[in-house]
Structure 1
Amino acid sequence: MGFFDFLYPEGRSPQLTTAQAYKEYQAGARLIDIRDLIDWNKGHIAGSEHIPQARLLRPSSGLDKTQRLILVCSDGQQSLHTAYRMQNAGYDAISIHGGLASWKSSGLPFS
């Protein structure tokens, strides 16, 4: 049982490890950085898209509910809660456990 399993019904914690996220991203999942523009400009995952958290659930966001969406924020907390909300809205969304901090410490591509 994971730490967040008590928060999410049916043990459906919407998180991936950085290694799992990288593998899914390479296989075609859409990687979305939900931080604000100032933080995005300081550095982000190479090839990721910037869509601020506040715009994600808007119809104008252009997101496809059937496409795998990997969300990332600084430490994984905002993206975790956002992924869960998006799942409840019918999206195939998941968060990177530990966020950008975990991604960078894993030595994965960052720009």
Structure 2
Amino acid sequence: MVVLEITKEELEGKKVNFIDVRTKLERQNGHIKGDIHIPITELESKKNELDKNKEYVLYCEKGNRSLYGSLYLVAKGYKVKSLKGGYNKYIN
């Protein structure tokens, strides 16, 4: 079984390549510094911009869309996890 979710605590001290899959409007409320913004609706068309040799952590507001995006990208051969609880849990 592949674990697709990761917590903020599990990421502490690691260099992380975050991908924000929220909308542009949601992103205006804040985002993780240094992340990449690829809305979930554009993930399929922009996946080739990602390096399959890097590991990524996707996040959205609560963790549902990022989990869906992670399932999609893992099926395409990418090393991806979803931030459990999303951005809301990450900042609190």
- TM-score w.r.t. length of structure 2: 0.87
Structure 2 unpaired stretches of 5+: none
**AA of the residue aligned to 1:104:** I
Q: How large is the RMSD of aligned CA atoms in angstroms?
A: 1.7
**AA of the residue aligned to 2:60:** C
- 1:19 maps to 9
- 2:54 maps to 67
Query: What does 1:1-111 align with in structure 2 at a 5 Å threshold?
Result: 10=1, 12-24=2-14, 27=15, 29-58=16-45, 61-105=48-92
Q: Percent identity?
A: 27
Cα offset, 1:61, TM superposition: 4.8
Paired residues in the alignment total 92
SS of 1:23 mapped into structure 2: coil
Q: Which of the two has higher C-alpha Rg? A: 1
Cα offset, 1:45, TM superposition: 1.3
Residues 14 and 93 in structure 1, CA contact (< 8 A), matched pair in contact too = yes
Greater RCO structure (CA 8 Å; 6+ sep) = 2
